[in-house]
Chains A and B, each alone.
Chain A
């Protein structure tokens, strides 16, 4: 039994997450009382809260060692810090984009910010989880906030549909995850990752029980839903298309980071010894995601569906690092995820600045026709992001792919590497297609789209472009941080 002082010490150690939880609740209360401009004010508060959380998170990093809190429920290590930074960047960008996208809109309710804060809290718990129960708690906190966010535009049929679809499929996946957890609990008698790892290590000497493997499969299925890996990706295009644009941007960034972090915890902290068993599953979903992401994206006319398939493909590449496993593989995945995050943030910042006269963001590809004439800056920025996503050097996206494929070849999986790069060539077609529409096509006569990047969108877009372009000069720091994070994982 924990005594009072332990709890207080643990609460202090977890002060970043505690602070975020309090801030979300306080902002909710404040928001209700505000009469005017609630969205903007709460957005400022939300960003401040996230930045403060980020500072507190980074402070924890100084110790260097990993610590476990609340009876091994949560673990704070460099891996967690790394992923939390990524999630916070995603959340802050999403709030910035939301101010532009929803702020002046009828549906611009300040709850958007609160929900993002709560989702971020859930993700931070996911990232820190060291136990199946804290994993599930974090995951559900995140998911419930995301379901509401998807349906945030309640006047729109597609948004409601997106929310409902996401909720039903998300609930299904949570069910599978819970089933997997209960199987694991049944066969190992514990829900704690380190204890599971010990039991796996002992059992491995003769034979791992089949029930545990089945449980692991169910857990992986549940997590694959969250990162929208094929074949559990069905909800992604619909939700991306239906949800408000800034929410889609959030979906494309933060939850993916959190779910990938969670996957790393489960796969490496708990089941690291079973690498040869789960690697087959990761192999299959990774290859399928790369292929489907590449081929299904080719025929899309809606920009958000295209980006959905693009993100499916990117998750396939990121998973390759987990498939290879070990320290190089995880490092490669972390580098890839960081670059993916920045590219996605930049892409959405550019896209959201193209709006029609009702102040709704453009959704169809052909609405970008002739963008390079209307606004060269936005067009070139978006083109840089897209070339980077296609993995063309000298942009950052190339280094992400370089790292992943280096890890894959290091593991000796030559065929997989060849298939992976071929998929990336196929995928480059749809990125080029959008560039073609922006640069080669003429704007249609009756198009009323204006390019109006707000200051906040610039705050997201300009750093992203700078990062993607100048990454080639200073690649080391990110790799160093990712290496440290990967080292602390086990």
Chain B
């Protein structure tokens, strides 16, 4: 097959949507059959998409920083908008993450979702379309459409299939993210008016006056910081995670949180370099606060999902820290950390889902001693737990150590404070593991739970393998992201050292 002209990215993006339409029209004699067919069709479609994304990864040229698989179609002539898609080293692994996690969520919903399975599968497939689109869009407005479109299926996922406080969580999630995003839309339209196009590569070259950069950065920051989420706008995340069904949590932690970091790398750093330089110290401190403060909060949680949600905020602190150090190690570490966190936190939520399906509680104190009856589960859970702690040999280690190396190059105090998060992370994750898996078996029901079944193994073992594999072989990832990161930083340093900008700043 000639891949030169084949619109691979669009195909991957819109195939799930077609699948969703197909699932929507499934009819059957009884609910059970509809449910099975819906899950099977959904899983089939999303596995095809995953296979396509593997093709993309192997076709990916790791020697260039340019966008690859580029598609350009005139979409909106009146506004000079083009439908343009492409992937580079920064985005390619996020696409992989989206295509990997969706089929797993669809497969596992067979046992965890009781009602309206068909619609659940549809929502996940639509979500996949928007996620892949977000990471592949090379046009600002197109990016915004995908970025914002994610809210629709996610709102329904949390609200329809969520826990007891699902309405509150769904509204909070939606309104927080929407408020951030509309400010970004304003900034995007401003840039559109200035440049006459929202083509991202063109916008990267554009260059804006100093004050404009400041405002634009703030507007984009409002959106990405909420999505990330950074302290202090992270409060929607624990609520959304706790109330969302397992699949929703997995996608939320695995992919949606990465959109913020991706946005910083795609928009903020290349388009507003001077503002990034100006705001970086503030972001370092926000990140450090996020790492330490949310780790401390995670320590006192008695709900498993909430604890993992807070740990996500802490881990995202490393990401923002790494990105804004604007050092090679820092940015590569941040991307690696996002990929690693995408795998680990998704797996941790799946692990919580496994025992939640059996005991229907997320309270840590209700579990204990399940290592006896669930040894395989205990092993898998341990791998992910250690990955989250950042044990050498797991992917978590690489991301955190690289981000911290970046941080130490900028400021020792920040680096030291951020590194303390590693200790705190170990404290709560090990405590969680001890309470749930070891410890005295107080609850008889917990001791009667069956070990992971075939489907769960099918989801968890590949994730565990990947966590270990990119932990010991990080170059598989780093080689592919390095050219894009170097290009990004080269442009960044060129932009902030331009003499004209220097003069403009002195004369402000």
Q: Do A and B bind each other?
A: yes
Q: Are A429 and B171 in contact (CB under 8 A)?
A: yes
Q: Provided the pairs A436-B167, A439-B160 are in contact, do residues A405 and B179 lie with their beta carbons within 8 angstroms?
A: no
0/1 string, B159-173, CB within 8 A of A gives 1? 110000011001100
Let me know if B155 is at the binding interface, CB within 8 A.
yes
The answer to whether residues A480 and B78 also contact, given A392-B149, A436-B167 and a CB cut-off of 8 A, is yes
The reply to whether the CB of B190 lies closer than 8 angstroms to some CB of chain A is yes
List residues of chain A with CB within 8 A of the CB of B383: none
* B236 CB to nearest A CB, Å: 14
Which residues of A sit under 8 angstroms from B178, Cβ to Cβ? 392, 425, 428
The reply on B278 being an interface residue by CB < 8 A is no
Instruction: Indicate whether B152 reaches chain A with its CB closer than 8 angstroms.
Output: yes
| A193 beta carbon closer than 8 Å to chain B | no
Interface residue? A11 (CB, 8 A):
no
The answer to whether A394 and B175 have CB atoms under 8 Å apart is no
| Contacts known (A429-B175, A476-B77); A392 close to B186, Cβ less than 8 A | no
Task: Pick the most buried of A393, A432, A476: most chain B CB atoms within 10 A of its CB.
Answer: A393
* In the complex, chain B residues whose CB is within 8 Å of the CB of A394: 145, 149
B296 to chain A, nearest CB (A): 32
Interface string of A387-431 (1 = CB under 8 A from B): 100001110001000100110011000100110011011001100
A424–B182 touching, CB < 8 Å: yes
Asked if A279 is at the interface of the complex by the 8 Å CB criterion, the answer is no
Does A409 contact B77, Cβ atoms closer than 8 Å? no
Cα distance A376–B123 in the bound complex, in angstroms: 14
Q: Any chain A CB within 8 A of the CB of B185?
A: yes
Q: How many Å lie between the Cα of A410 and that of B196 in the bound state? A: 11
Check if A440 sits within 8 Å of B170, measured CB to CB: yes
- The residue in A376, A424, A429, A432 that gathers the most chain B C-beta atoms within 10 A of its C-beta is A432
Contact with B along A455-485 (1 / 0, CB 8 A): 0000000000000000010011001100100
- Please give, as numbers and ranges, the residues of chain A lying within 8 Å of B214 by CB-CB distance: none
Are the CB atoms of B171 and A402 closer together than 8 Å? no
Question: Contact: A432 with B174, CB < 8 Å?
Answer: yes
Cross-chain contact A405 with B189 (CB below 8 angstroms): yes
When chains A and B are docked, how far (Å) is the Cα of A439 from the Cα of B159? 8
What's the minimum C-beta distance from B208 to chain A, rounded to whole angstroms? Answer: 14
B159 lies within 8 A of A479 (CB): no
CB pair B190 A436 closer than 8 Å? no
Which chain B residue lies CB-closest to A410? B193
Which A residues are in CB contact (< 8 Å) with B185?
402, 405, 421
Residue-wise, chain B 136-164 has the 8 Å CB interface mask toward A (1 for contact) of 00000100110011011001100110000
Is B282 interfacial (CB 8 A cutoff)? no
Q: Nearest chain B CB to A398's CB is how many angstroms away?
A: 7
Number of interface residues of B (CB under 8 A): 33
- Establish whether residues B189 and A392, one from each chain, have CB atoms under 8 Å apart when the complex forms: no
Decide yes or no: A479 and B166 within 8 Å by CB, A409-B190, A418-B183, A421-B185 being known contacts: no
Residues of chain A contacted by B159 (CB below 8 angstroms) = 436, 439-440
Interface flag for B192 (CB, 8 Å): yes
Cβ of B182: which chain A residues have Cβ within 8 Å of it? 421-422, 424-425
Shortest CB-to-CB span from A239 to chain B, Å, is 30
Question: For the complex, what is the distance from the CA of A475 to the CA of B151, rounded to whole Å?
Answer: 22
A475 touches B145 (CB 8 A): no
In the complex, are the beta carbons of A392 and B151 less than 8 A apart? yes
Known contacts A425-B182, A436-B167, A440-B160, A414 near B190 by CB under 8 Å: yes
- Collect the chain A residues with CB atoms within 8 Å of residue B144's CB: 393
Question: In the bound complex, do residue B78 and residue A475 qualify as a contact, i.e. CB atoms below 8 Å apart?
Answer: yes
Contact assessment for A476 and B171 in the assembled complex, using a CB-CB cutoff below 8 Å: no
Q: Which residues of A contact B192 (CB under 8 A)?
A: 406
Output the least CB separation between A329 and chain B (Å): 13
Min C-beta distance of A169 to chain B, whole Å: 34
Q: Which of A440, A472, A483 contacts B166 (CB 8 A)?
A: A440
Interchain CB contact under 8 A, B149 and A393: yes
Q: A410-B193, A440-B160 known; A432 and B171 CB under 8 Å?
A: yes
Find chain B residues with CB under 8 A from A472 CB: 145
Shortest A199–chain B CB gap in Å is: 35
**Min CB–CB distance B378 → chain A (angstroms):** 36
One of A405, A421, A425 near B175 (C-beta < 8 A): A425
Which chain A positions have C-beta within 8 A of B413? none
* B189→A402 contact, CB < 8 A: yes
Residue of B nearest to A483 (CB): B78
Docked CA distance A489–B156 (Å): 44
Asked if residues B171 and A392 are in contact (CB atoms below 8 Å), the reply is no
Closest chain B CB from A477 CB (angstroms)? 9
Instruction: Apart from A476-B76, A476-B78, list 7 A-B contacts with CB within 8 A.
Output: A392-B151, A393-B149, A402-B141, A406-B189, A417-B186, A421-B186, A428-B174
Listed in ascending order, the chain A residues whose CB lies under 8 Å from chain B are: 372, 376, 387, 392-394, 398, 402, 405-406, 409-410, 414, 417-418, 421-422, 424-425, 428-429, 432, 435-436, 439-440, 472, 475-476, 479-480, 483
9 interchain pairs, CB-CB under 8 A: A393-B144, A406-B79, A418-B183, A425-B178, A428-B174, A428-B175, A439-B156, A472-B145, A479-B78
Interchain residue pairs A-B with the least CB separation, the first 8:
A421-B182, A393-B145, A479-B78, A440-B159, A425-B179, A394-B145, A393-B148, A409-B189
